[in-house]
């Protein structure tokens, strides 16, 4: 293996795969091709031939372009650059914005069909304002790496090579203006640039000690660490708050039940639930990061029945299951459980315990369509069905897509 790396091949790609890579065939072998669009014929340079069943390649010339091809929104990632020198992080930037959403829809629908046996007519909805600005200027947070000369840039795709840049067009104007592209940062690994809604942009250099910032979601304020997790799209916190509120079936919601917000972060979605259902709402947010849990306790303080606990969700649920009394189990069966797991999804252990606890409804917020489809299939084994699903383009010009799914018993 290795003798084909660097070779130029010519092929037509016919579909999009999970991860945003186009798929074609060459002499019967599957080839995953970056920077191509289904329907195109391209010349591509082989980058990986270690597997007998497939190769990886990067498009270097488009022979028959798709009608959806556009000039890349980021010159640092354009097809006329050597693939090893293309900036990562905007892998759909050469595709018309509406067609990006169609490709994401295809991946989500195909994942649900293949892994959960569900035929879905889900669409991917843009966030307000994005179509008018071609999906640019949405990132309120970026992380740049430092090369051996101290210059800032993203990594190249599937690489640890830093690509120095002078702009980041997916970032908001405030983030772009605050990014010190001309400076040198020798000896540092990373630089984060953050633009909170309530204060001026700030830099977080390397392993800098966290400081507390505040973010506005509608009229509600949340405190969190500047190094902590927060949705990066300027409109995502509001969009997800509303989506989760609308995903909950009010006929199945009991404010006195043992409602849970799993992988709860600083309490954004727990607050969304309590805001919709009122002051008497009982909900516990569970998060493994202790500092995030501390912030969640403050962010949820106005609701007497809301609390935050620190713990790994799988372990926390196991302990809950093992120690639950008959009365506890009744409250859990009446519960609404919101979960917003990391990209790897909740997984079999968490979904199995949730199936035993048998809550009235699950509201699953997913940033990975394959993980979501797998977990929907696991929930089906415990008697849950997918009642509704919406998808949102929280990450324009990338392959990522967010979905909010409601699972109910029966």
263 is annotated as contributing to ligand binding: yes
* pTM of the predicted protein model: 0.96
**d(C-alpha 389, C-alpha 124), whole Å:** 10
Write out the two tokens for 167: 């702009």
pLDDT reported for residue 31? 97
Q: What 8-state DSSP symbol labels residue 210?
A: P
pLDDT digits 0-9 by tens, 176-208: 999 999 999 998 899 999 999 999 999 999 888
pLDDT (mean) for 314-328 = 97
Tell me the fold of 139-217. Answer: OB fold (Dihydrolipoamide Acetyltransferase, E2P) (2.40.50)
Is residue 215 a known part of a binding site?
no
pLDDT tens for 95-148 read 999 999 999 999 999 999 999 999 999 999 999 999 999 999 999 999 999 999
Q: Please give the share of the chain, as a percent, with pLDDT higher than 90.
A: 94
CATH homologous superfamily of 8-69: Nucleic acid-binding proteins (2.40.50.140)
Q: Do domains 8-69 and 139-217 have the same CATH topology?
A: yes
Marked catalytic residue, from 350, 367, 379, 386: 367
- Give 330-352 pLDDT, tens digit per residue: 999 999 999 999 999 999 999 99
How far from 172 is each of 137, 178, 246, 350, CA to CA, in Å?
4, 10, 28, 36
Was domain 103-130+233-409 assigned CATH 3.40.50.150?
yes
Domain positions in the chain = 8-69, 103-130+233-409, 139-217
19 is catalytic: no
Question: Per the annotation, does 231 bind a ligand?
Answer: yes
- Per residue in 371-402, pLDDT tens? 999 999 999 999 999 999 999 999 999 999 99
Tokens of 5: 């790396």
Lowest pLDDT segment from 4-13, 265-274, 345-354: 4-13
pLDDT at 1: 59
Cα-based angle 375, 324, 327 (whole degrees, multiple of 5): 110
For range 287-292, the mean pLDDT: 98
Q: Is the pLDDT of residue 2 over 80?
A: no
């Amino acid at each position: 293996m290795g003798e084909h790396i660097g070779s130029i091949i010519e092929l037509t790609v016919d579909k999009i795969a999970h991860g945003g890579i186009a798929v074609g065939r060459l002499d019967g072998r599957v080839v995953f091709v970056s920077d191509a669009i289904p329907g195109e014929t391209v010349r591509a340079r082989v980058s990986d031939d270690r597997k007998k069943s497939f190769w990886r390649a990067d498009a270097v010339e488009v022979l028959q372009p798709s009608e959806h091809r556009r000039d890349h929104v980021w010159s640092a990632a354009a097809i006329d650059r050597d693939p090893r020198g293309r900036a990562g992080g905007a892998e759909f930037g050469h595709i018309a914005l509406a067609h990006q959403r169609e490709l994401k829809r295809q991946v989500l629908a195909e994942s649900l069909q293949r892994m959960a046996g569900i035929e879905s007519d889900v669409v991917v909805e843009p966030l307000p304002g994005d179509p008018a600005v071609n999906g640019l200027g949405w990132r309120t947070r970026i992380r740049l790496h430092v090369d051996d000369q101290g210059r800032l840039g993203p990594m190249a795709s599937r690489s640890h090579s830093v690509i120095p840049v002078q702009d980041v067009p997916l970032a908001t104007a405030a983030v772009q203006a605050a990014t010190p592209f001309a400076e040198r940062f020798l000896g540092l690994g990373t630089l984060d640039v953050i633009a909170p809604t309530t204060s001026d942009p700030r830099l977080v250099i390397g392993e800098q000690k966290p400081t507390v910032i505040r973010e506005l979601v509608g009229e509600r304020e949340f405190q969190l660490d500047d190094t902590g997790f927060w949705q990066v799209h300027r409109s995502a916190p509001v969009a997800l708050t509303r989506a989760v509120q609308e995903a909950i079936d009010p006929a199945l919601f009991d404010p006195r039940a043992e409602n849970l917000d799993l992988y709860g972060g600083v309490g954004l979605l727990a607050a969304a639930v309590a805001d919709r259902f009122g002051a008497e709402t009982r909900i516990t947010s569970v998060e493994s990061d202790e500092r995030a849990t501390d912030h969640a306790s403050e962010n949820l303080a106005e609701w007497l029945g809301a609390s935050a606990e620190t713990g790994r969700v799988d372990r926390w649920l196991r302990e809950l299951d093992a120690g639950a009394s008959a009365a506890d189990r009744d409250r859990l069966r009446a519960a609404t459980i919101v979960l917003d797991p990391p990209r790897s999804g909740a997984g079999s252990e968490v979904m199995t315990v949730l199936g035993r606890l048998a809550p009235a409804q699950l509201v699953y917020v997913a940033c990975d369509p394959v993980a979501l489809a797998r977990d929907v299939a696991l929930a089906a084994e415990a008697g849950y069905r997918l009642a509704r699903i919406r998808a949102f383009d929280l990450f324009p010009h990338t392959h990522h897509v967010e979905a909010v799914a409601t699972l109910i018993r029966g």
